[in-house]
Amino acid sequence: MTDAAKTGAAGRWADDADRGQEGGDSTDLTRSLAGCRICADRFAATATHHAPNPVLWFRPGARILIASQAPGLRVHEANTPFWDQSGKRLRQWLGVSDDEFYDRSRVAIVPMAFCFPGYDAKGGDLPPPPICATTWRRQVLGSLPDIRLTVLIGGYAQKWHLGTREGVTATVARWREHAPGVFPLPHPSWRNTAWLKRNPWFEDELVPVLRTHVREALG
């Protein structure tokens, strides 16, 4: 798919989301979240000098919760979560199509921070500002009563949801303790390709079980 085609597809889903928030799915919560500017000064001081842009992707009837870290720059620009190579890998792990993944009535994507946090001095993504989860997370999760399966991507989401002090590798290695309702995963970024090679059990053992429970949750 060309870059233009990818951008157009992302725009289609983003437009659907915008229409939902403006129409019958709009709630006081989503309107308040969309207008949040708590981190405006923080973001203005980063290398990208960007303004807040909460990327919201959930509806009350969703069956699967994707708890992730924070949008990257490409997601910030496309207004569509996981619209990058890490999203492609994540959808492969889950065994879902793009249409299934981006159906907000089936899959809720709720990161630890809803906005792109900016880059650090080395060009890496800054961590999600804790104030976002403190302000919004319990309200958003409380609006999703039908979640059957929770996927925790990366250390920030795992620490918040599981209360663990372990690193990602140790937490994911103990995935059977949390399944079938919760699956901790590493971040699907290309930066973790070496991790996947060092830990073949992840794709050999965890991923097939995850896919089974994803299909069950989606019905």
Task: Report the domain count for the chain.
Answer: 1
Task: Domain of residue 76: give its range.
Answer: 3-218
Question: pLDDT under 50 in the chain at which residues?
Answer: 1-7, 19-24
Q: Which pLDDT value is given to residue 19?
A: 42
Helix (H, G, I), strand (E, B) or coil at 66: strand
Count CB neighbours of 138 within 10 A.
Answer: 10
* Rounded Cα–Cα distance for residues 11 and 16 (Å): 8
Q: Which pLDDT value is given to residue 64?
A: 99
Question: What CATH number is associated with residue 45?
Answer: 3.40.470.10
Q: Which pLDDT value is given to residue 146?
A: 98
Which two structure tokens, joined as six digits, stand for 211?
Answer: 């896919």
Expressed in angstroms, the distance from the first to the final Cα of the chain is 29
| φ, ψ dihedrals at 64, nearest 5° | -120, 135
Q: Which pLDDT value is given to residue 189?
A: 93
Q: Which of 139, 52, 149 is nearest to 96 (CA)?
A: 149
Which residues are registered as beta bridge partners of 78?
none
DSSP code of 108? E
Contact between residue 117 and residue 129 where contact means Cβ atoms under 8 Å apart: yes
